[in-house]
């Protein structure tokens, strides 16, 4: 899938360039295409420098949390809920702790750090699989919730916005929180419908009621604020949550006599190892997207969609953020490339850039997660996993558009 997508970018760019040259007499089009290759390669290196530090920083803090027993505590706390949602997984099974850690990494927006943890969780779930070629209900639920990507603290998106010069990188904190909650809830409901899960169980209802109360209270508070106050509140809550989590990790670690410095360094080393392997993929995707934009093909597609939207009498500002939404189910690196390119093309705090950042944080790369997680354990029959995950993706995109018009309208 990714090979086809990447090759298609270049083929479409070449055809569009030929059309621009022959039909529109634009002799400079191939000069712009070649220049975009070098510009995107340079931008990839600049992003990697920041990515090294960000992943090292957060994997360091996550290692402290793990050593302090916070992850194990989360596993015990969520155990009763997971036993209802994943009845095929026995209590105390190692998969539950790994699933919790994976969700924690996703919640912090560390998708690259979450992947190796998620693979370990999938392998543990596979030990309970009576048919190794077919996905179990627990594996499907884990994959759908993973692809819906409940992101409570999207630090990677904050990092990209900071790198592009955003005065307030955390401005998209609340929009992402609301959109990713919608995608995760829809994903859970879709799987529950297919698997006949008993969501009316008292434990599940208690968790659902608590979540609904928290989200409802937050939305009621936000509804009473002006647009300027919404942006300010999003920034304040993002920064407070970010620093508060760091302090909890450190203080609990110190109380448990964890050598916090040594643990941090060990985790940071893991982050460095993960980061250095990402540069080739980042260069590949950013360069492919750069030539697509420089050839005029991407603008032509968006202009066509914009024309249809305006014909229907709708506000078409969201159209410029659609490239990120379109490629997100297929490739995280392609979506990141689209996000960065949108920031550069329209401005980091423009409506398209803010919407693209929200879409990026609302869901995961469905087909990538499907291929990697199921491929790692040899599963060939995904059953209803793809359909449920795509429904969650669509919910995330629609929710992103709605909350961005609300916040940044």
The pLDDT of residue 11: 92
In whole angstroms, give the CA distance from residue 89 to residue 251. 33
Question: Can you read off the two tokens belonging to residue 350?
Answer: 């423009």
Q: How many domains does the chain have?
A: 1
Helices (H), 224-278: 227-255, 260-276
In whole angstroms, give the CA distance from residue 43 to residue 54. 17
Burial of 228 (0-12, 13-18, 19+ CB in 10 A): exposed
The pLDDT of residue 275: 67
The pLDDT of residue 52: 76
Q: For the chain, what's the residue count?
A: 409
Closest among 330, 49, 300 to 162, alpha carbons compared: 49
- The residue ranges of the chain whose pLDDT is under 50 are 1
Helix (H/G/I), strand (E/B), else coil: 134: strand
Closest among 52, 39, 10, 5 to 279, alpha carbons compared: 52
**Taking a C-beta distance cutoff of 8 angstroms, is the pair 201, 84 a contact?**
yes
Q: What is the pTM of this model?
A: 0.67
**Taking a C-beta distance cutoff of 8 angstroms, is the pair 300, 15 a contact?**
no
The pLDDT of residue 238: 60
Q: Which residues contact 366 (CB under 8 A, 6 or more apart)?
A: 147, 329, 330, 386, 389, 390, 393
The pLDDT of residue 348: 87
| Domain hosting residue 8, numbered range | 1-408
Q: Which residues of 121-143 are buried (b: 16+ CB within 10 A; e: fewer)?
A: bbebbbeebeeeeebbbbbbbbb
Burial of 384 (0-12, 13-18, 19+ CB in 10 A): middle
Terminal C-alpha separation, the chain: 36
Handedness of CA 353, 178, 166, 55 (dihedral sign): negative
């Amino acid at each position: 899938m990714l090979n086809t997508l990447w090759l298609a970018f270049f083929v479409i760019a070449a055809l569009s360039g030929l059309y621009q040259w022959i039909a529109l007499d634009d002799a400079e089009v191939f000069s712009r295409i070649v220049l975009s290759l070098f510009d995107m390669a340079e931008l990839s290196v600049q992003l990697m420098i920041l990515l090294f530090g960000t992943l090292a920083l957060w994997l360091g803090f996550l290692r402290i949390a793990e050593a302090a027993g916070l992850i194990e505590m989360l596993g015990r706390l969520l155990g009763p809920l997971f036993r209802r949602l994943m009845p095929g997984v026995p209590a105390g099974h190692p998969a539950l702790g790994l699933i919790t850690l994976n969700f924690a990494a996703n919640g912090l927006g560390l998708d690259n750090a979450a992947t190796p943890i998620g693979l370990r969780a999938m392998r543990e779930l596979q030990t309970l699989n009576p048919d190794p070629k077919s996905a179990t209900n627990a594996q499907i639920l884990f994959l759908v919730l993973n692809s819906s990507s409940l992101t409570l603290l999207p630090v990677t998106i904050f990092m990209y916005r900071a790198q592009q010069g955003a005065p307030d990188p955390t401005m998209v904190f609340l929009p992402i929180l609301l959109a990713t909650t919608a995608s995760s809830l829809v994903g859970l409901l879709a799987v529950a419908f297919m698997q006949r899960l008993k969501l009316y169980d008292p434990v599940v209802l208690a968790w659902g009621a608590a979540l609904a109360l928290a989200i409802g209270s937050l939305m009621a508070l936000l509804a009473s604020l002006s647009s300027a106050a919404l942006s300010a509140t999003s920034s304040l809550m993002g920064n407070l949550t970010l620093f508060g989590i760091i302090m909890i990790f450190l203080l609990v670690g110190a109380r448990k006599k964890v050598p916090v410095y040594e643990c941090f360094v060990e985790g940071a080393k893991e982050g460095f190892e993960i980061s250095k392997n990402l540069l080739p993929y980042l260069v590949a995707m950013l360069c492919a997207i750069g030539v697509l934009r420089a050839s005029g093909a991407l603008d032509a597609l968006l202009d066509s969609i914009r024309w249809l939207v305006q014909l229907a009498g709708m506000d078409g500002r969201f159209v410029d953020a659609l490239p990120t939404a379109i490629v997100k189910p297929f490739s995280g690196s392609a979506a990141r490339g689209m996000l960065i390119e949108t920031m550069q093309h329209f401005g980091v705090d423009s409506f398209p850039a803010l919407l693209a950042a929200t879409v990026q944080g609302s869901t995961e790369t469905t087909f990538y997660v499907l291929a990697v997680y199921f491929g790692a354990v040899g599963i060939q029959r995904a059953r209803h996993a793809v359909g449920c995950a795509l429904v969650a993706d669509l919910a995330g995109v629609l929710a992103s558009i709605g909350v961005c018009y609300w916040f940044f309208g």
